[in-house]
Each structure stands twice: as C-alpha cells, then as structure tokens.
C-alpha cells in the first residue's frame, strides 16, 4: 500500500514537471515562429508511399529518434511532452505502473533512421521526461529508398517526398544506386528534372536517335552532376557552406554559371571558383542575400 502511495505521489510530480516543460517548449515555439510538432505516420506513409514492413524484433531504440506517432501526434510536443491536461489521468496511471513494475516494450515503425509510435505514446513521454536515452521496442521497418533522418521534421518530409518523385521519374535509384542527391530545401528537384530534359534533347540532336528520359538521367548523372560535384569538392565549397549539401552547391554553381555566361564563355570550374571567392568576402551582403534566398533560407 505504501509503495502505491509513493508511486502515485511521484507520478503526480512527474506529470506536473512534464506539463511545465511542455508549456515552456510551446511558448518558445511561438516566440521563434517555428510550430514544430510530431510527424503523422499516416502522412509519411502516404507521401513516401510506404507499402511493406519487416519485423526486426525487440530492440533498444534511442528515444530522441522517435519523430512521430501513428495516431496521437497532436497529443504531444516534438519532444513527447503532454500538450493537454486531458492526458493527465492516463499519463499518471502509466507512470505509476512504470515506477512499480516497469512497462513492456512499445511498438514502433521505422522509416530510415526515424521511428513512429504505433503503441506506447505515454510510455515514450514518461521515459523522455525521466531522461531515459533509450527504450525497448518491437520494431517494424519499412523499406524505402528515401528514408528519413534521425532529426526528421515536416520540412525534411517535404524534401524527401520530392526526392521520391524524382527517383521515380529518373530511375536513378536503379541505374545509379550510388547516387545521393539530397537538398536542404524543398523545390529543387524540379530544376534537376528540367536540366535532364534539356540534356536529353541535346543528346538526341547530337546522336540522331530518340532516348528515354531514364537513360538521359543516367548520362546526366555521369557527365554533368558527378563532374560538377568533383569540381565543388576540389574547390572546397562545402567548407564555405557547412550547413549545405553537395546537391545544394550544385544547383547554386550551375545557376551562377548560367548567369555568368551572359557576359561571355566561362567554364563551370571558373563559376565554382567565383562562388568560393564571393563566399570568402562576408562584407558583400548582397552576395550572401542572393545565396541564402536561392537556397531557401
């Protein structure tokens, strides 16, 4: 009896702390303007067209890689703190059981490096509040060529949705499985598809034969994208833009190259060198504004 009373008292204290932290977290999000919450697995499944999962057994999974929920993504904050006082009774009840007997493994879906709670949302919330780094879970993994990262949010989901469509259109995941063309802002893959279409037309004029879009995409990757990325690496552009990817820099250098061609012939390597030279001159705010606007800041 005494153990139950102590557990009930501790559960109430834990709830009060969890709600205080939740209110503070949501206040910060209002101040920053970033309304980030948990991802809906149903939306992830629809956008990435996830179909088949494989059971991976019971595993210890990092709690901070749980990015969403199957049905209760609105009930908890991004860090799984309870967002409503209506959750109190069940939260405290589950917490009391955990304090006295522990609780069984939760059930999750895995998409890339991210996890989504199928059953056990309150257990995750309680474990997170208690500072536990990991939790036991039954894991069902969905196979996908565009899996989410451990820090997945809505912005990343939008980008990965576009990437899935890009791969479906180009077939690069089959013809060039080593390809890893990842942007940090949405809306960039259409630009690549336009480039491939132009490249296809040029090849057909040169060769005099029709070519499938997928074949043109493979040749574009070999001759254009890979060559440009090598130039970007040689000039150390990623050191100048540490928060960007090679795909981001490819798009910027390619567009900059086209702009410079208005003033006369110029190589892609010279365009990359010009980007690096401008990036190393921070007092040119106009240049920085152009870069951040294009890359989606």
The structural domains of the chain, with segments of one domain joined by +, span: 2-142, 154-295
Both tokens of residue 74?
């609105």
For residues 111 and 44, the answer to whether their CB atoms sit within 8 Å is yes
pLDDT at 10: 83
Q: What average pLDDT does the segment 33-58 reach?
A: 89
Residue 281 has pLDDT above 80, yes or no: no
Judging by beta carbons within 10 Å of its beta carbon (0-12, 13-18, 19+), is residue 171 exposed, middle or buried?
middle
Distance between CA 222 and CA 293 in Å, rounded? 29
- 96 forms beta bridges with none
Return the sign of the alpha-carbon dihedral for residues 160, 158, 162, 185: negative
**Percent of the chain having pLDDT more than 90?**
49
Which helix (DSSP H) or strand (DSSP E) does residue 154 occupy? helix 154-170
Q: pLDDT tens-digit profile of 187-238?
A: 899 999 999 999 999 999 988 889 999 999 999 999 989 988 888 888 787 8
> Long-range contacts of range 83-92, CB-CB < 8 Å, 24 or more positions apart?
83/22, 83/26, 85/19, 87/122, 88/15, 88/19, 90/122, 91/11, 91/15, 91/18, 91/122, 91/125, 91/126, 92/8, 92/11, 92/12, 92/14, 92/15
CATH number of 2-142: 3.90.1530.10
Residue 289 has pLDDT above 60, yes or no: no
pLDDT at 284: 41
| Residue 164 CA from chain centroid, whole number | 13
For residues 181 and 85, the answer to whether their CB atoms sit within 8 Å is no
Distance between CA 116 and CA 121 in Å, rounded? 9
pLDDT at 75: 92
Q: What average pLDDT does the segment 72-88 reach?
A: 91
Mean of the per-residue pLDDT values of the chain: 85
**Residue 186 carries which DSSP code?**
T
Distance between CA 44 and CA 90 in Å, rounded? 27
Give the list of residues 6+ apart from residue 54 with CB closer than 8 angstroms, or none: 140, 141, 143
Return the sign of the alpha-carbon dihedral for residues 215, 219, 220, 225: positive
Q: What average pLDDT does the segment 26-54 reach?
A: 84
Q: How confident is the model at residue 261 (pLDDT cuts 50, 70, 90)?
A: low
């Amino acid at each position: 009896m005494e153990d139950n009373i102590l557990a009930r008292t501790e559960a109430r204290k834990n709830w009060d702390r969890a709600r205080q932290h939740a209110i503070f977290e949501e206040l910060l999000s209002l101040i920053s303007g970033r309304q980030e919450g948990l991802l809906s697995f149903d939306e992830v499944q629809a956008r990435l067209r996830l179909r088949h999962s494989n059971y991976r057994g019971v595993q210890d999974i990092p709690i901070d890689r749980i990015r969403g929920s199957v049905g209760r993504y609105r009930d908890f904050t991004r860090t799984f703190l309870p967002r409503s006082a209506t959750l109190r009774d069940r939260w405290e009840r589950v917490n009391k059981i955990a304090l006295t007997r522990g609780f069984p493994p939760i059930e999750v879906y895995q998409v890339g490096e991210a996890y989504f709670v199928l059953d056990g949302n309150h257990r995750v919330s309680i474990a997170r509040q208690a500072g536990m780094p990991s939790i036991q879970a039954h894991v069902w993994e969905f196979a996908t060529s565009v899996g989410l990262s451990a820090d997945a949010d809505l912005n990343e989901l939008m980008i990965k949705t576009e990437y899935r469509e890009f791969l479906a259109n180009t077939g690069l995941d089959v013809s060039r499985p080593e390809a890893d063309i990842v942007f940090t802002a949405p809306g960039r893959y259409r630009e690549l598809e336009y480039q491939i279409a132009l490249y296809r037309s040029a090849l057909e004029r040169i060769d005099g034969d029709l070519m499938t879009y997928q074949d043109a995409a493979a040749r574009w990757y070999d001759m254009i994208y890979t060559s440009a990325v090598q130039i970007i690496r040689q000039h150390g552009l990623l050191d100048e833009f540490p928060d960007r990817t090679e795909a981001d820099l490819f798009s910027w250098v390619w567009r900059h190259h086209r702009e410079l061609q208005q003033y006369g012939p110029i190589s892609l390597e010279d365009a990359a060198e010009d980007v690096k030279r401008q990036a190393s001159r921070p007092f040119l705010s106009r240049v920085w504004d152009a870069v951040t606007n294009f890359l989606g800041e």
